[in-house]
Chains A and B, each alone.
Chain A
Amino acid sequence: MGPTDLSMLELGRKLGSGELSSVEAVRACLARVDRLDGRVKAFLRVDREGALAQAEAADRRRTKGKRAGPLDGVPVGLKDLFLTEGLPTTAGSRSLESFVAPYDGTAVKLLRAAGTPILGKLNMDEFAMGSSTENSAFFPTRNPWNLETSPGGSSGGSAAAVAARMVFGALGTDTGGSIRQPAALTGTVGLKPTYGRVSRFGVVAFASSLDQVGPMTRDVPDCAALLQTIAVYDPADSTSAPVKAPDYLAEIEGGVKGMKLGLPREYLELPGMDPEVRAAVEAATRALEKMGAQLVPVSLPHTKYALATYYLIAPAEASSNLARYDGVRYGLRVEGKNLLAMYGRTRDQGFGLEVKRRIMLGTYALSAGYYDAYYLKAQKVRTLIKQDFVDAFRTVDAVISPTSPTAAFRIGEKVSDPLAMYLNDVFTLPCNLAGLPGLSLPCGLTRGNLPIGLQILGKPWDEARVLRIARAFEREHDFHRRSPPLGAA
C-alpha cells in the first residue's frame, strides 16, 4: 500500500507526525499521473513545480510546528473552472484556452490557506455543461473503472483523478448534478453543499442561481474535512450566506439511529432506471434501516417537471453569463471585417456544440414574447419543487434516492442524443433547483464492476446530518475502499 492509497485525513495525520512528507505525497501523485493519466486523461494541466513548491512550504511549516490544519500538505486537484492565479483556467473551452487567471478565487484562497498543494487543473464538460466530460473542447476523460466508459460530468476529470488515486481530493462544481453524478459513476464521494454555503467568487459561472462548489473525495470524513476548509462566508459573493459552518467531523460517527429517511415515491417511478441500480439502492436503504433509521415514504409531486424547469433556467442564466466571452478583453478573439463579424467568429469558434445549444435555448427562453411562457413559468415551478421538499422535510430528516439512473455508460453512447444525456440528471437536478445539500457515495457495484451511487439530500444548511448518514452507511460497507482495476495495469 503506497501513500496514494491513504485518505486525506490519514495522509494529514502522517504528515503531522512526520512519518511522510508532503513532497513525498506530491511525488507519489505525480508518479501516478505519469503512469495513468495518459489513459484516464483527467488532467488539463499538471502544475509539477507549483505543487512541489507548495509541498516544500508545507513541510517547512511542519518542521517549525506551524501546520495550517489537518489537510496541510495534502495534494488536491481543481476542476478547471476555479480561477487559479498564474495558471490557465479554461473551463474546458477553446474560448478560454489562452486565459491565465489574474486572481485566485475564494475557494482556492481557502485551500492555499489550509496548505493543500494544488497538483493541477482537471478536465470538465465545456463551461460545466454536460454529464460525461465528452463536451470538453480538448478531450474526453475516461472512467478509471472501465476506460471505455465515461466518468460522468461535468466534474468528470475531478472524479476520475480522485478515483484513480492521482489526487487525494478535488473540488468540483455542481449545477444540476455535476459533482454527484460523476462521483456515483466513479465510486467516489461528492457533496453539493447548500446554495450559498461556499463562495462562487472566482469560479467560472454556468448558471448563477444553481452553481455550487463542493468537495470530491474517496470517503465521507475526507468530504467533511474538505468541506470544512471551503465552507466560509464570503462578502465578495452576495449569494454567500453569513451562516457559520459547524464542525462537520464532530458528530460524523453518530449513526442514524432514530433518524427518519424519506423515500420519494416519484423517484422510483422515473423511466430509464437500471434494475441493478434500483436493487443496490434498495439494499442500501434496508441497510440504513437495520442501523436504526426509520424509512418513510414521501411524495415530491413536482419531480416530473424538474428536468424541463432546469433546462429553461440554467440555459437562460448561461446565455447571459457567457456573453462576456466576446473576444474584446481576454480569451479567444477571431478577427472579422467589423465588430459584428468579430463577435460572430469568436463565439462560433470559441464555443462547442452543447454550449451553443444551451445559449440558444436560454436566449429563446428570455426573449420578448416568450419570457412569461418559459422563464417565468419555470421560476414558478421551481418554487413548487422547493415547496415539495419543505413539505417532505416536515416529516423526514433526509431524503434517499439513487444518484444516477444508470452506472457509467460507454463513451460516445449518448453524445448524439442530448435528451438521453439530460435524463442522467433527473435525480440530481431537483436538489439544485431547491438549493439543498446533496451527497453521493458508493453503495454497490454492477455485475460489470461499475460503481453505483446513493444520493442523500438534506435540509438547507444540514450538511452535517447528510455526512453523518453517509458515514453510517460507509462504515458498514467497503465500497469506498475498492479501487478501480487500473492500479494493476
Chain B
Amino acid sequence: MSVADFQPVIGLEVHAQLLTRSKIFCGCSTEFGARPNAHTCAVCLGMPGALPVLNEKVVEYAVRVGRALECRINPVSIWARKNYFYPDLPKGYQISQYDQPLCEHGGLEIDGEDGPRRIRILRIHLEEDAGKNVHDPGGGDSLVDLNRSGVPLVEIVSEPDLRSSSEAAEYLKALRDVLVYLGVNDGNLEEGSFRCDANVSVMRKGSTQYGTRVELKNINSFRFVQKAIDYEIGRQVELIESGGKVTLETRLFDPVRGETRSMRSKEEAHDYRYFPEPDLPPLRIPAGFVERIERELPELPRAKLHRFTASYGLPAYDAKILVGDRPLADLFEQVQAVYRGPAKKLSNWFLGELLRLMKEEVREVGALRFSPAQFAALLQMVDSGELSNNAAKDVFAEMFRTGRDPREIAQEKGLLQTQDTGAVGAAVDAVLAANPGEVEKYRAGKKQVFGFLVGQVMKAMKGKGNPALVNAALKTKLGD
C-alpha cells in the first residue's frame, strides 16, 4: 500500500478581506500599515457601552462574491457571536454569522486533473477580523495592535470536493482571481488579506466513507497550500498503514520545516458558544438589491477565458495569462478593437515585450503611459511594412517609456522603412553592379546567393529597405 492507494478529500475555508474603506461595524479606516492602534475607536476597541453599526458597503461586496460564486443569497441572515478569549479580540467575541449565513450553495468551476470540475461552495458568511498580537522579540511584553480589529471578512467554505493538493491550489487561484475581478479583494496572501485553512482527510480508493479530517492552519501562500496538504496526506496515509488512526484535530503548518504539527485536539477544541448577536437586527436584503448587484457584475475570469480562446482564437496558454490580470485583459481588448489584425500577433506582443518591460518598470496596467490606440498604430506599422519587427521593438520600448507617438519615435530614430520603389531599384542596381561574381553564381544556379544580395541591399539602405520591395526588385533585376 502507498499514497497511491488512497484518495485524499479536501475542503478549503478561505478568509478574504473585503476592500471597503471603513471597517464593518464602525467608521475607522481599513488602511494597511498605519501606526499601531491609529485606526481604532470605542467600537473596535470593545469599550464598555460601544455598539456595532453595519457598514452597508460590506453587504454589497459580499453579495457580489455570493452571486459570482453562484450562491443563493438568503433574504434574511443572522449575526452571531463567537465567544472566546484572546488579547487581540477586544470584545471577547467575534461578530460573525453561524447557522443562517448570507450566502449558501454555490460553486466554482476549476481546471481539475481530468478536465473542468465544479467545486461546490457550502456557504459564505460575513464576519469581523481580530487585531494582531505583537510579541516583543526581546522577550518582554506582548503588545496588541487593533488596527485590523473590525476589518470586514468573508469566509468562503467549500464542500470537500477537492481531490488533490494541486486541485486545491487551482481552486484557491481561481477563487482569488474571481475576488480580484470583483474588485472586492487584492488577493494578497502574504499581507493576510486572503487566508486559507484546509480540511484534509484520506480514504482507501473505492471507499465512499470519508476518513477523519484534520484542519490545517497557517497556510499563507499558494506554494504552502500544496506543500502542507501533501505533507498531511502523507502523514495520514503513513499513520493508517502503520495501524494507527487519524484523530480529529487542528494542526499548524510550519513553512520552515515543511511539516504540520498538532495545535489542539478535539478535547481542547474551543466551545465558541455561538448565539444570535442581540446588538444587531437580522440582516435583511431589500427587494431588488441582489438583482442590481448582478447587473453590475463584471465578466468573470472563467467566462473571459472561454471568450478569449473562442472569439479571438487565442491558445489557452495565452488566454490564461491575459485573463489572469483583469486590467491586462481589458487593455488587450482595447488595443485589439483598434488594431483589428491577427489577435495572436497582438498576444505575442503582450506576452513578450509588454510583460517583459512591465516586470522591469511599470508594474500596473493602470500606470502605463501609452494609449491603446498608440499600441495598435505600432502594430499596423509593422503589418504594412513600415517598420521591421526589430525596429518596432525599439519604438515600443521608447513608447513604453515616454508615451510618445510610435510614428514620431520611428521617424526621429530613422527606423521607417522606405516605400519608395525608385530608391529600392537604385540600391539594387548599385549592389548588382558591385558584385558581378555573385550575380554570375546566382545565374549559374547557386540560388543561396540571393540571401547575400538581399543583405547587401538592406545594408546599403541602412535597414530602411522594405524587405518585400527589396525581394521583388532583386528578383526582377536578376531576371527570375
Interface residues of A (CB under 8 A from B): 81, 83, 89, 91, 96, 99, 101-103, 105, 200-205, 207-209, 235-239, 316-317, 319-320, 322-324, 326, 328-330, 339, 343, 363, 366-368, 371, 375
- B61-95 vs A, CB cutoff 8 Å, 1 = contact: the mask equals 00000000000000000000101010100111100
CA distance A263 to B7 in the complex (A): 69
The answer to whether B48 touches A99 (Cβ under 8 A) is yes
A66 to B379 alpha-carbon distance, docked (Å):
76
Residue B430, interface by CB 8 Å: no
- Say yes or no: A323 contacts B91, CB within 8 Å: yes
In B160-200, which residues have CB < 8 Å from any A CB? none
CB distance from A93 to the nearest CB of B (A): 10
Residue contact B49 to A320, C-beta cutoff 8 Å? no
How many Å from the CB of A20 to the closest CB on chain B? 34
Specify which chain A residues have a CB less than 8 angstroms from the CB of B358 in the assembled complex.
Answer: none
Q: Are B83 and A320 in contact (CB under 8 A)?
A: yes
Contact of B275 among A101, A203, A320, A343 (CB under 8 A): A320
The interface size of chain B toward A, counting residues with CB under 8 Å, comes to 29
Q: List 29 A-B contacts (CB under 8 A).
A: A83-B49, A89-B48, A96-B48, A205-B279, A207-B278, A236-B53, A238-B51, A238-B54, A238-B279, A238-B281, A239-B278, A239-B279, A317-B278, A319-B83, A319-B273, A320-B275, A322-B92, A323-B91, A323-B93, A326-B85, A328-B87, A328-B90, A329-B90, A330-B47, A339-B142, A343-B85, A363-B273, A368-B273, A371-B274
Q: Which 5 A-B pairs have the closest CB atoms?
A: A323-B92, A208-B278, A366-B273, A209-B278, A202-B49
B140 to chain A, nearest CB (A): 14
A320 to B93, CA, bound (A): 7
When C-beta atoms are compared, the residue in chain A nearest to B273 turns out to be A366
Known: A208-B278, A238-B53. 5 other contacts (CB 8 A): A102-B42, A237-B51, A326-B85, A328-B144, A366-B83
Contact call B273/A236, Cβ cutoff below 8 A: no
Interface residues of B in 33-69 (CB under 8 A from A): 42, 45-54
Known A-B contacts A239-B279, A366-B273; A323 and B48 likewise in contact (beta carbons under 8 Å): no
Known: A235-B53, A339-B87. A375 touches B46 (CB 8 A): no
Please determine whether A326 and B92 come into contact, CB atoms closer than 8 angstroms: yes
Q: Do residues B46 and A324 form an inter-chain contact, with CB atoms below 8 A?
A: yes
**Chain B proximity of A101: nearest CB distance (Å):** 8
Q: A343-B85, A367-B271, A367-B273 are in contact. Are A324 and B48 (CB under 8 A)?
A: yes
Cβ-closest chain A residue relative to B45:
A329
Interface of B is mostly: loop
How many angstroms between the C-alpha atoms of A366 and B49 in the bound complex?
22
B83: chain A residues within 8 A (beta carbon): 319-320, 323, 366
The answer to whether A236 touches B91, judged by C-beta atoms less than 8 angstroms apart, is no
Q: How far is the CA of A107 from the CA of B54 in the complex (A)?
A: 21
Q: Please, how many angstroms separate the alpha-carbon atoms of A91 and B47 in the complex?
A: 13
A366 and B275 within 8 A (CB): yes
Q: How far, in angstroms, from A96 to B48 measured CA to CA in the complex?
A: 10
CB distance from A313 to the nearest CB of B (A): 9
Query: Could you tell me the distance between the alpha carbons of A96 and B51 in the complex, rounded to whole angstroms?
Result: 18
| A201 adjacent to B50 (CB under 8 Å) | yes
* Cβ of B237 to closest chain A Cβ, rounded Å: 31
Out of A208, A319, A363, which one reaches B279, CB within 8 Å?
A208
Whether A316 contacts B49 by the Cβ 8 Å rule is: no
For B46, give its contact among A202, A237, A239, A329 (CB under 8 Å). Answer: A329
Neighbouring B residues of A239 by C-beta, 8 Å: 51, 278-281
Smallest CB gap from A375: residue in B: B275
Q: Smallest distance from the beta carbon of B264 to chain A beta carbons, Å?
A: 14
A91: contacting residue among B48, B90, B280, CB under 8 A: B48
In the complex, which residue of chain A has the Cβ closest to the Cβ of B48? A204
B52 and A83 form a contact (CB under 8 A): no
A contact residues around B46 at 8 Å (CB): 324, 329
A235 to B281, CA, bound (A): 13
Residue of B nearest to A241 (CB): B281
Chain B CB within 10 Å, residue with most, of A96, A326, A363: A326
**B-side contacts of A363, CB under 8 Å:** 273
Q: Please, which residues of chain B bring their CB within 8 A of the CB of A200?
A: 49, 51
A91 vs B48: C-alpha distance when bound (angstroms):
10
Least CB distance, A31 to chain B, in whole angstroms: 32
Question: For the complex, what is the distance from the CA of A105 to the CA of B48, rounded to whole Å?
Answer: 10
Chain B residue contacts of A320, Cβ below 8 A: 81, 83, 92-93, 273, 275
Whether B81 lies near A201 (C-beta < 8 A) is no
Closest Cβ–Cβ distance, residue B218 to chain A (whole Å): 20
Instruction: Report A360 CB to chain B, min CB distance, Å.
Output: 12
Which A residues lie within 8 Å of B92 (CB)?
A: 320, 322-324, 326
Q: How far is the CA of A99 from the CA of B46 in the complex (A)?
A: 14
What's the Cα separation between A235 and B46 when bound, in Å? Answer: 18
Question: Whole-angstrom distance between the alpha carbons of A264 and B83 in the complex?
Answer: 39
> Chain A residues with Cβ under 8 A from B273's Cβ?
319-320, 363, 366-368, 371
B273-304 near A? 1/0 per residue, CB < 8 Å: 11100111100000000000000000000000
Give the residue of A201, A330, A343, A375 whose beta carbon is less than 8 angstroms from that of B51. A201
State A317–B92 Cα separation when bound (angstroms). 12
Complex Cα gap A105–B81 (Å): 23
Distance A346 CA – B452 CA, assembled complex (angstroms): 92
In the complex, per-residue mask of B234-276: 1 if CB is within 8 Å of any chain A CB, else 0: 0000000000000000000000000000000000000101110
Which residues on the B side are within 8 Å of A204 (C-beta)?
Answer: 48-49
Q: A83-B49, A324-B46 are in contact. Are A316 and B281 (CB under 8 A)?
A: no
| A196 CB, min distance to chain B CBs, angstroms | 10
Q: How far is the CA of A371 from the CA of B81 in the complex (A)?
A: 14
Q: How far is the CA of A366 from the CA of B271 in the complex (A)?
A: 9
**Which interface residue of B48, B50, B92, B144 has the most chain A CB atoms within 10 A?**
B48
Please measure, in the bound complex, the distance between the C-alpha atom of A202 and the C-alpha atom of B41, giving whole angstroms: 13
- CB of A102 within 8 A of CB of B47, answer yes
Instruction: Give chain A nearest CB distance to B95 CB in angstroms.
Output: 11
Contact of B49 with A324 in the complex, beta carbons under 8 Å = no
Closest partner residue, chain B, to A210 (CB atom): B278
Name the CB-closest residue of A to B42. A103
Find chain B residues with CB under 8 A from A329 CB.
Answer: 45-46, 90, 144
From A208, A235, A324, A326, name the one whose CB has the most chain B CB atoms within 10 angstroms. Answer: A324
Contact residues in A for B81 (Cβ distance below 8 Å) = 320
Provide the residues of chain A in CB contact with B281, threshold 8 Å.
Answer: 238-239
The complex places the Cα of A175 from the Cα of B81 at a distance, in Å, of 20
A168→B46 CA distance, assembly (Å):
33
Chain A residues with CB under 8 Å of B49's CB are 81, 83, 101, 105, 200-205
Q: In whole Å, how far is A98's beta carbon from the nearest beta carbon of chain B?
A: 13
Residue of A nearest to B92 (CB): A323
**Are A83's CB and B51's CB within 8 A?**
no
**What is the CA–CA distance of A479 and B345 in the complex, to the nearest angstrom?**
96
Residues of chain A with a CB closer than 8 A to B91's CB = 323-324
Closest chain A residue to B25, Cβ basis: A238
The chain B residue with its CB closest to the CB of A328 is: B87
Give the distance in Å from the alpha carbon of A324 to the alpha carbon of B87 in the complex.
Answer: 10
The chain A residue sitting closest to B271, CB to CB, is: A368
A101 — which chain B residues lie within 8 A by C-beta?
48-49
Expressed in whole angstroms, the Cα–Cα distance for A201 and B51 within the complex equals 6
Residues of A within 8 A of B274 (CB): 366, 371
A65 to B144, CA, bound (A): 51
A208-B42 Cα distance, complex, nearest whole Å? 17
What CA separation (Å) do A324 and B85 show in the bound complex? 9
Nearest A residue to B276 via CB reads: A379
CB distance from A318 to the nearest CB of B (A): 11
- Please measure, in the bound complex, the distance between the C-alpha atom of A80 and the C-alpha atom of B42, giving whole angstroms: 18
Minimum CB distance partner of B53 in chain A = A238
Residues of A within 8 A of B53 (CB): 235-238
The interface bits of chain B over 142-165 (1 if a CB of A lies within 8 angstroms of the residue's CB, else 0) are: 101000000000000000000000
| Contact residues of B between 362 and 412, Cβ < 8 Å to A | none
